Amino acid sequence: MKKILVLVLVIFMAAAVGASEPKEIFKATIDSDGVQRVDVLGGSYFYKPDYIIVKVNVPVELKVRKESGVTPHDIMIKAPEAGIEFKESLSSEPKVIRFTPTKTGKYPMTCSKKLLFFASHREKGMEGTLEVIE
């Protein structure tokens, strides 16, 4: 029993450490029409890219979709103080989320899904960061 408990603890700590490090950083550029566009793929407890950098006071369009599979996922940022607040279910068909960030900072991007008493999708690593810079 002790070996199983230690193994579970090691796996949990490894997942927690891995979840805090971005795997793919994307710095948005401003298109000729003045909009920053980013394609985001969600899937088996990941976002790609999982760290997005955009400029403050410049419109942003996130085109979001999920990889094939039956597990439901969404993408959510709740930062109304920065002009960023959305929650959108992901599907294989791309959806566009539009907002204009009004305050610099780092804002968590998460999946809110959770099945009964299991770990949430965020706890399984489906999280990222939207950083708004000058």
Does residue 64 carry a pLDDT above 80? Answer: yes
Query: For position 118, what pLDDT does the model report?
Result: 81
Looking at this protein, which amino acid is placed at residue 109? M
* Domain regions of the chain by residue span: 2-133
**122 φ/ψ sector (left φ>0, alpha ψ -120 to 50, else beta):** alpha
Q: What is the DSSP-derived secondary structure letter of residue 6?
A: H
pLDDT score recorded for residue 20: 55
Taking Cα atoms as reference points, which of 33, 32, 87, 31 lies closest to residue 64?
87
Give the residue with greater pLDDT, 123 vs 76: 76
Q: What is the pLDDT of residue 119?
A: 83
Q: What is the reported pTM?
A: 0.81
Cα–Cα dist 101/97, whole Å = 12
2-133, CATH topology level: Immunoglobulin-like (2.60.40)
What are the pLDDT digits (tens) for 13-59?
A: 444 444 457 789 999 999 999 999 999 999 989 999 999 999 999 99
Report pLDDT digits (tens) over 41-51. Answer: 999 899 999 99
pLDDT for residue 26: 97
Q: Quick one: pLDDT band at residue 89, thresholds 50, 70, 90?
A: very high
